[in-house]
Structure 1
Amino acid sequence: MALFDEMLMNYPHRRHFLQTVNLPAFDPPESRFLYMKMHKAACTTVLATLMKHLAAAKGIVEDLSMERVHAPPKSLLLTGPRGLTNAMVEDAVRSDDVFKFTIVREPISRTVSAWADKVDAVGKQRANLMTYLGRPIDAPMSLSSFIDILAHDEGARNLDRHWRSQRLEMSYDQIPYDFVGVVEDIKPAMAHIITAIFGGDAAGEIEDTRKSFGHQTTSKDWREGLSAQDIKNLETAFAPDLEMYEQVTQRLKECA
C-alpha cells in the first residue's frame, strides 16, 4: 500500500486529509515544512504566524484575519485538494529535507473546548451532530452528555475534526515528525518552529490570535467541573490520544 493511501485511512475522505496538510508555496529561508493542521489546538495562531513570516520572506505585509488564515492565499500556503496532489504530500512526508511538525493539545481540555465552542453554541458543528443523533437542532446537549456520546458512539466521535482523534488527524503513526509541540507550552514550541523554518532572527515574532483576533473560549471553568464519570468516559473515547500526548510531553521533557 502506498504511504498516501495508508495515511488516507485515518480520515473520512481525501478532501478532509488534504485540508489538514499545509505546505509552503515557495522555499522559506531555512527549511521547507509540512504542518498538519490540528483544530482546537492553536491552529489559528500557527497558521497566522506561518503566513506572517512567509509574507515577510516575499517582502510583503499580509493582512491577517480569521477568514483569510483559514483560507490562505496560494501564494503563501498550499492546502486542500485545489492546492495539493497525493504525490506532493507523500514526497513531503518522505523527504528528510522537509521540517514536519504539528501542535497538539491535552485531549481532555481539547474535547471540553470543542463542546464549549462548537456544540454549546449555534453553528454547523452542533447542527451536524444533532442531525446525526436524530435530535432537534435546538435540543439541549450538556457537556456530560456530549462526552458520554463520544465514549459510546464511534460515528459521533469521528463526525467532526474539532473533536475527533488528534492521533488520526495528524497521522501520528505514519508521519516521522521532526517536532510535535503542545498548546500548553505554545510559546517555546512556536519559537522552535519559526527558528527551524525562518531562522533565529524571526523566533520571537509569534502572531497570538487570542489577542489579535480575540480567538478564545471559556472552556477552563468547564474543564475543572468534570465529574469522575466524565473523565472515565473521556479516557474510553480517547485512550490512543492520551497515550500519544504522554509520549509527546515526555519527549519534550527529554529534549528540554
Structure 2
Amino acid sequence: MKILKLKLANQKSKFVRWKIRKMYKGDLPFKIVGSRTIISFKENYFYNRIPKAANSTVIASLYAKESGVKLKSLDEVQIIKNNYFTYINDLDFQQLKQLQNLYKFTLVRNPVSRITSAYLDKVKNKNAPQRKLILRALNKNENDDITFDEFLFYLENGGIYHNAHWSLQKDLLFFDINKYDFIGKMENISSDLPIILENIYDEPSRIISIMPHARKKNILENPNSFQLKKIHSIYQPDFHVFKYKPS
C-alpha cells in the first residue's frame, strides 16, 4: 500500500510539472523561466523576476516587510532568493489551482540600459560565469576580451535565447502579459514599487534599495548609432510590448 501511494504521488507530481510547463507560451527553455518566478501563498503574490531590472531591490523590499529584517548585500539577497520563497517548480496540485488568483507583478527595464548593464556585469567582467557561453560561441579563449559589438553579434545569432540576463523580457513572463496585475518599470521604481507593495500588504511600505552592480560612467552609457540600431532590431518585441521608445 505504501509503495502504491508513493507511485501515485509521483505520478501526480509529474502531472503538475507537465501542467506548469504547458502554461508557459514563450520561446525560452522552461528551466530559464522557472527559476525566475517567486511565489508567496501567505501574502498571495507572484513575482516574475526580470534579470537586470532591480531584482535585488524588489526582493529586499518584500522580505523587509514580511520579516522585519533589512538585507544589506547581494549575498544576503541571494540567500533569501534560494531559501525563503516558493518557485513555480515547487508547486503541488492544490497550489497550482491557486496560482491564477495571486497578485501577479513584474518590473521591466529599457532594453538599451538593460543590455549594456548585462554586458558590463556578465560579459566584460571576466569573473562572470555567463561569459563562457559567449566565449564558446565566438571561439575565444578564457582571458580574451569580448567587445560590445561582438556581444551584439552573438545576441543576433541566437545568443538571446541562452541566458535570462540578456533574453527578451517578454519571453521571461510566465503568464501572458494581460494576466499581470501590474507591470512596473525600473525607470519609475520610486513610484511603481510602492504601488506594488501597497497592493500586496494593504499599507505603505519602504523600498529597500540594493544596487550591487552600480558602476562608474563609461563609454557604454551611450551606445553609438550603429549599436543602438542593432539593439532596437534585436529587442524590438520588448520595445513594442512594454512601450519603450527607441533612443
User: Aligned residue for 2:134?
Assistant: 129
SS state at 1:72 partner: helix
User: Aligned residue for 1:240?
Assistant: 237
User: Aligned residue for 2:105?
Assistant: 101
Structure 2 portions without partners, runs of 5+? 1-17
User: Aligned residue for 1:39?
Assistant: 51
Structure 1 portions without partners, runs of 5+? 250-256
Please state how far the C-alpha of 1:132 moved relative to its aligned partner.
3.2
Distance 1:232-1:88 versus aligned 2 partners, 3 A rule:
farther
1:1-256 aligned at under 5 Å gives the runs 4-7=21-24, 9-13=26-30, 15-24=31-40, 26-28=41-43, 32-56=44-68, 61=69, 65-72=73-80, 76-79=84-87, 81=89, 83-85=90-92, 88=95, 91-92=98-99, 94-95=100-101, 98-122=102-126, 123-151=128-156, 153-154=157-158, 156-171=159-174, 173=176, 176-202=179-205, 205-210=206-211, 214-218=212-216, 221-224=219-222, 226-246=223-243
From the CA coordinates, give the structure whose radius of gyration is larger.
2
In the alignment, residue 206 of structure 1 is paired with which amino acid? Answer: I
Please state how far the C-alpha of 1:69 moved relative to its aligned partner.
1.8
In structure 2, how many angstroms separate the alpha carbons of the residues matched to 1:234 and 1:90?
Answer: 39
SS state at 1:102 partner: strand
CA contact (8 A) 2:60 2:70 kept: no
Please state how far the C-alpha of 1:175 moved relative to its aligned partner.
5.7
Aligned-pair identity in percent equals 22
**Deviations 1:41-89 (CA, angstroms, capped at 9, x unpaired):** 0001001111111113xxxx365542332242787421264x4358745
Structure 1: 4+ residue segments shifted above 6 A: none
What's the RMSD between the two structures over aligned residues?
A: 2.7
**Deviations 1:190-212 (CA, angstroms, capped at 9, x unpaired):** 1101101112242xx110012xx
Q: What is the TM-score when the length of structure 2 is the normalising length?
A: 0.81
Please state how far the C-alpha of 1:218 moved relative to its aligned partner.
4.0
In the alignment, residue 191 of structure 2 is paired with which amino acid? Answer: P
In structure 2, how many angstroms separate the alpha carbons of the residues matched to 1:89 and 1:147?
Answer: 38
Please state how far the C-alpha of 1:189 moved relative to its aligned partner.
0.8
SS state at 1:209 partner: coil
